[in-house]
Amino acid sequence: MTANLPIKVMVVDDHPVVRDGLKNMLLVFDDLELIFEAKDGSEALALCREDLPDVILMDIIMPGMDGIQTTRAILDQYPQMKIIILTSYTEDKLVQESLEAGAIGYVLKNASIDDLANAVRAAHTGKPFLAPEATMALIRTKTRPHMPGDDLSQRERQVLALVAEGLNNEEIAERLVISHATARHHVSACIRKLDAANRAEAAALAVKYNLIS
């Protein structure tokens, strides 16, 4: 980057209000330029074919491909791309999987605009930038013994209980007053964290290990 070439940024998030907020944030800094907004992973991939950004700010929970899947897909085609996961979720497994997918940063949506700008600048120069919560999540995954379900969040345990009741994703979303995409993400996380083959096995393991009441 030179003084005359700002860092080109793409924002990938399915919520328009989040994209607008990030757009306004980037306008504050002369060395950062928003070139694209994408509402999902498929649109992000299409926009990359038009013009490559320098850094992508990537949400995790989105319809279709989630942020981790999109990160893998983009880096498969553009390995030089720098991707920062920008999310509200701090689950240990998500942090680990995001970095394994190739993300160079993991930042929370409640970060200050200065921290977010510094994360973009660091990523652009190839330096990782992790929120303190993400760093602690990595430490936990490396140091604690793993028991089935011990990394389930409170919300995931609620979802798991509803899975055990036989509710589908749409019914879970309605019961918990969350989006269908969020419900699907939580169900997938429960299955993954329990190393289960499907919903039925996840429910059986939840009962076996007393993970739900």
Q: How far is CA 209 from CA 162, 192, 199, 213, in A?
A: 16, 16, 15, 11
What CA–CA distance (Å, rounded) separates 194 from 175?
23
Question: Is residue 1's pLDDT more than 70?
Answer: no
Query: Tens digits of per-residue pLDDT, 49-105?
Result: 999 999 999 999 998 889 999 999 999 999 999 999 999 998 888 898 899 899 999
Same fold, 7-142 and 154-208: no
Question: In the predicted model, is pLDDT for residue 144 greater than 70?
Answer: no
| pLDDT above 60: residue 165 | yes
* Weakest mean pLDDT among 14-18, 130-134, 174-178, 209-213: 209-213
CATH 3.40.50.300 for domain 154-208, yes or no, is no
Q: Where along the chain do its domains lie?
A: 7-142, 154-208
130, containing H or E segment: strand 129-130
CA dihedral 195, 135, 102, 31 (to 10 degrees): 150
Query: What CATH code is assigned to 7-142?
Result: 3.40.50.2300
Q: How many CB atoms lie within 10 A of CB 157?
A: 16
Residues in CB range of 51: below 8 A, 6 or more apart: 8, 35, 36
* Residue 176, C-beta contacts closer than 8 angstroms, at least 6 positions apart: 155, 158, 159, 162, 183
Whether the full predicted model's pTM is greater than 0.85, yes or no, is: no
